[in-house]
């Protein structure tokens, strides 16, 4: 017997996780996707995305009979008391939020939603969407509820089942309580709000995280200029409980499928409301500058002393995904910098553990291989973009021999500089004095 009948529309990172987790809480869940191949694979328990624990949970749901997959939203909603919309809300090339998929779902299910059912937006949508969808549906018996999702890729199952808070917002309190009750099995603070507040909470949280990352990236830049070490500065800052240590590590710039589009969307929301959000604009500018700074650092460390320092220079790349633990390349800062490097004439060979079973991944001008040691062969340096734990345990002695020039640009400060130094490799991090004596290579014959 099940507790509640749910439809989940969209089986991406959010929809599939939500569907499998809600089934694990005892609800009957029918998940729908447009992609027939995905639906067929998921029906057999085959999960294509990399998410810790998700394949097991999907198979468990199928085995208990609580989780099933169908093609198209129409086939999923007929018996649903609650319908979660989890389709993508990407950014158009012009920087606009693309709500086409959400609107298409609303149009598709309008006449099929059971009487008195609830439509829930779990996709990240701008303020006013609940009101807009209510009007679009034209179904006075159906309430629209906002239930933004805060899970992180790579740890989506753990985040969904152990959230810091669950936010459910609607101008129909009874509908919000019905959705809140679906999470009764979780030990998490529940916040029931009005619709606009719930929609704004998601953007406010993500924009704050983006601003925090841009802040630490500027601090890293400052550290390089004044001879300070951002590791020490950020660690001490993070110990202040008012600040916290999360999102306080410098890197190649923030990216991924959420922060870039959510910050842009928030700027539009603010502008439409007549609010000057210059602070957020500055964080976006800093982020673009950070990518340029990383490109310049790579050219400086690995390039030739010519007008076109990277022209024809072979570089090895470690990591392409926007963070460790995921196979998602959407808006990855690594890909953005890699594209800049290709534009500057560099020849790139890349390895990423999440992509090792699909080395044909296409980034124009980049050869993706399935072995980290292959990227080093004959390269004028290695660039680490993603903080995969396994990069820490690479055999640096072997890499030093394979590299044409034993230098590493570590855009995440992820490696142990002393270990690289012992192997004869010069380490260049972010936000540390540019070439401190302690980090200089012990082998002779290299530039830095
Ligand atoms: P995704 O691109 O991985 O998945 C979207 C899925 O929806 C795809 O499988 C697609 O085929 C399917 N789809 C599109 N239109 C459909 C339709 N009409 N009917 C059925 N299926 C349809 O997206 P995602 O990363 O899961 O993100 C979904 C939403 O959740 C976005 O709004 C995103 O901003 C938000 N979000 C994402 C994350 C994250 O870490 N990925 C975290 C929190 C919130």
Judgement on whether residues 182 and 256 belong to the same structural domain of the protein = no
Please give the distance, rounded to the nearest whole angstrom, from the Cα atom of residue 241 to the centre of ligand 1: 34
Q: What distance in angstroms lies between residue 438's CA and the mean position of ligand 1's atoms?
A: 47
97 lies in the same domain as 233: no
Q: Do 156 and 258 touch, CB atoms closer than 8 A? A: no
Same domain as 339, residue 241: yes
Do 111 and 225 lie in one domain? The reply is no
- How many angstroms separate the CA atoms of 102 and 122, rounded? 10
Q: Which two tokens stand for residue 110?
A: 């309008």
- 364 Cβ partners below 8 Å, 6+ apart? 339, 342
- Clarify whether residues 60 and 139 are in a common domain: yes
Rounded CA separation 143/409 (Å)? 53
Domain boundary among 174, 193, 212: 193
Which member of 207, 223, 258, 302 is catalytic? Answer: 258
Q: Determine the Cα–Cα distance for residues 69 and 101; give it in Å rounded to an integer.
A: 19
Give the chain's domain count.
Answer: 2
The number of the ligand 1 atom at minimal distance from the alpha carbon of 258 is: 34
Give the other-Cβ count within 10 Å of 267's Cβ: 19
Best CA proximity match to 47, nearest among 22, 26, 17, 77: 17
Angle between the 13-24 and 54-64 helix axes, to the nearest 10 degrees? Answer: 50
Looking at residue 90, its pLDDT comes to 95
- 3-state SS string for the chain: CCCCEEEEECCCHHHHHHHHHHHHCCCEEEEEECCHHHHHHHHCCCCCCCCCCHHHHHHHHHHHCCEEEEECHHHHHCCCCEEEECCCCCECCCCCECCHHHHHHHHHHCCCCCCCCEEEECCCCCCCHHHHHHHHHCCCCCEEEECCCCCCCCCHHHHHHCCCCEEEECCCHHHHHHHHHCCCCCCCCEEEECHHHHHHHHHHHHHHHHHHHHHHHHHHHHHHHHCCCHHHHHHHHHCCCCCCCCCCCCCCCCCCCCHHHHHHHHHHHHHHCCCCCHHHHHHHHHHHHHHHHHHHHHHHHHCCCCCCCCCCCEEEEECCCCCCCCCCCCCCHHHHHHHHHHHCCCEEEEECHHHCCCCCCCECCEEEECCHHHHHCCCCCEEECCCCHHHHHCCHHHHHHHCCCCEEEECCCCCCHHHHHHCCCEEECCCCCCCCHHHCCCCCCCCC
Residue pair 117/41 in contact (Cβ under 8 Å)? The answer is no
Residue minimizing CA distance to atom 37 of ligand 1: 14
Residue indicated by tokens 């500065």: 233
The rounded Å distance from CA 399 to ligand 1 centre is 39
> What's the rounded Cα separation, in Å, for the pair 113 and 133?
14
Among residues 178, 193, 208, which one ends one of the domains? 193
**How many C-beta atoms lie closer than 10 Å to residue 399's C-beta?**
24
The CATH number of whichever domain residue 396 belongs to comes to 3.40.50.720
Kindly state whether residues 109 and 186 are assigned to the same domain. Answer: yes
Question: What is the per-residue pLDDT for 434?
Answer: 61
pLDDT in tens, the chain (448 residues): 789 999 999 999 999 999 999 999 999 999 999 999 999 999 999 999 999 999 999 999 999 999 999 999 999 999 999 999 999 999 998 888 999 999 999 999 999 999 999 999 999 999 999 999 999 999 999 999 999 999 999 999 999 999 999 999 999 999 999 999 999 999 999 999 999 999 999 999 999 999 999 999 999 999 999 999 999 999 999 999 999 999 999 999 999 999 999 999 999 999 999 999 999 999 999 999 999 999 999 999 999 999 999 999 999 999 999 999 999 999 999 999 999 999 999 999 999 999 977 656 678 999 999 999 999 999 999 999 999 999 999 999 999 999 999 999 999 999 999 999 999 999 999 999 865 444 444 443 333 3
The preferred substitution site among 51, 72, 87 for testing ligand 1, maximizing ligand atoms within 8 Å of CB, is 87
> What are the backbone dihedrals phi and psi of residue 257, each rounded to the nearest 5 degrees, phi first?
-80, -5
> Of all protein residues, whose CA lies closest to atom 32 belonging to ligand 1?
123
Are residues 170 and 256 part of one domain? no
Q: How close is the Cα of 160 to the center of ligand 1, in Å?
A: 15
Atom 44 in ligand 1: which residue has the minimum CA distance? Answer: 149
Same domain? 125 vs 214: no
Sheet arrangement for strand 82-85: 67-71, 28-33, 5-9, 82-85, 118-121, 143-146, 166-169, 190-193
Same domain, 201 and 185: no
Q: How many CB atoms lie within 10 A of CB 413?
A: 21
What's the 33 CA to ligand 1 centre distance in angstroms? 10
Residues 249, 139 within the same domain: no
Q: Collect contacts of 390-393 with beta carbons under 8 A, ≥24 apart.
A: 390/353, 391/318, 391/319, 391/415, 392/416
Alpha-carbon 49 to chain mean position:
13
Which pLDDT score, from 0 to 100, does residue 39 have?
98
| Cα distance between residue 338 and residue 349, in whole Å | 10
pLDDT at 440: 44
Q: Where does a domain end: 193, 212, 228?
A: 193
Domain that holds residue 127: 5-193
- 214 and 117 in one domain? no
- Cα 13 to ligand 1 centre (Å): 7
Known catalytic residue: 258? yes
pLDDT for 232 equals 97
151 and 118 housed in the same domain: yes
Residue 438 φ/ψ region, left for φ over 0, alpha for ψ in the -120 to 50 degree band, beta for the rest: alpha
Nearest to 147 by CA among 79, 187, 190, 199: 199
Look at residues 384, 433, 391 and name the one whose alpha carbon lies nearest to residue 410: 384
Ligand 1 pocket list (CB less than 6 A): 9-15, 32-35, 73, 86-89, 101, 104-105, 123-124, 149, 151, 153, 257-258
Ligand 1 atom showing the smallest separation from residue 262 Cα: 34
Nearest CA to ligand 1 atom 25: 13
Q: Which residues of 311-335 are buried (b: 16+ CB within 10 A; e: fewer)?
A: eebbbbbbbbbbbbbbbbbbbbbbb
**CB-based contact 3:81 (threshold 8 Å):** no
Nearest CA to ligand 1 atom 18: 105
> pTM above 0.85?
yes
Whole-number pLDDT of residue 304: 95
What values do phi and psi take at 27, rounded to 5?
A: -90, 155
Q: Which atom of ligand 1 is nearest to the CA of 15?
A: 26
């Amino acid at each position: 017997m099940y507790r509640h009948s749910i439809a989940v529309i969209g089986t991406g990172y959010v929809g599939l996780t939500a569907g499998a987790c809600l089934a694990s809480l005892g609800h009957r869940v029918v998940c729908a996707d447009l992609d027939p191949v995905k639906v067929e694979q998921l029906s057999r328990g085959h999960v294509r995305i990399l998410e810790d624990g998700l394949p097991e949970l999907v198979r468990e749901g199928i085995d208990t009979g609580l989780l099933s997959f169908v093609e198209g939203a129409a086939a999923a909603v007929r018996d649903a008391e609650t319908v979660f919309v989890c389709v993508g809300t990407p950014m158009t090339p012009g920087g606009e939020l693309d709500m086409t998929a959400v609107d298409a779902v609303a149009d598709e299910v309008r006449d099929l939603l059971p009487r008195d059912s609830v439509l829930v937006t779990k996709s990240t949508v701008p303020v006013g969407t609940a009101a807009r969808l209510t009007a679009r549906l034209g179904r006075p018996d159906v309430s629209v509820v906002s239930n933004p999702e805060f899970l992180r890729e790579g740890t989506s199952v753990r985040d969904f089942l152990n959230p810091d808070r669950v936010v459910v917002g609607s101008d129909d309190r009874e509908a919000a309580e019905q959705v809140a009750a679906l999470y009764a099995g979780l030990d998490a603070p529940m916040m029931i709000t009005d619709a606009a507040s719930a929609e704004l909470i998601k953007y406010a949280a993500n924009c704050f995280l983006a601003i925090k990352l841009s802040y630490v990236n500027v601090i890293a830049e400052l550290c390089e200029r004044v001879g300070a070490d951002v590791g020490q500065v950020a660690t001490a800052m993070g110990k202040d409980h008012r600040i916290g240590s999360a999102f306080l590590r410098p890197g190649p710039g923030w990216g991924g499928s959420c922060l870039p589009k959510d910050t842009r969307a928030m700027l539009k929301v603010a502008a439409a409301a007549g609010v000057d959000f210059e602070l957020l604009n500055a964080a976006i500018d800093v982020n673009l500058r950070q990518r340029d700074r990383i490109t310049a650092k790579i050219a400086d460390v690995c390039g030739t002393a010519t007008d076109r320092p990277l022209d024809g220079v072979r570089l090895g790349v470690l990591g392409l995904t926007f963070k460790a633990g995921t196979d998602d390349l959407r808006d990855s800062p690594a890909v953005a910098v890699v594209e800049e490097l290709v534009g500057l004439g560099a020849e790139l060979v890349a390895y990423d553990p999440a992509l090792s079973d699909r080395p044909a991944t296409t980034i124009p001008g980049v050869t993706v291989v399935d072995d980290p040691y292959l990227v080093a062969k004959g390269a004028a340096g290695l660039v680490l973009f993603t903080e995969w734990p396994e990069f820490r345990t690479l055999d640096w002695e072997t890499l030093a021999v394979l590299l044409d020039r034993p230098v590493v640009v570590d855009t995440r400060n992820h490696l142990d500089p002393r270990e690289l130094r012992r192997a004869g490799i010069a380490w260049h991090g972010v936000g540390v004095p540019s070439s401190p004596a302690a980090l200089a290579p012990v082998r002779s014959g290299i530039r830095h």
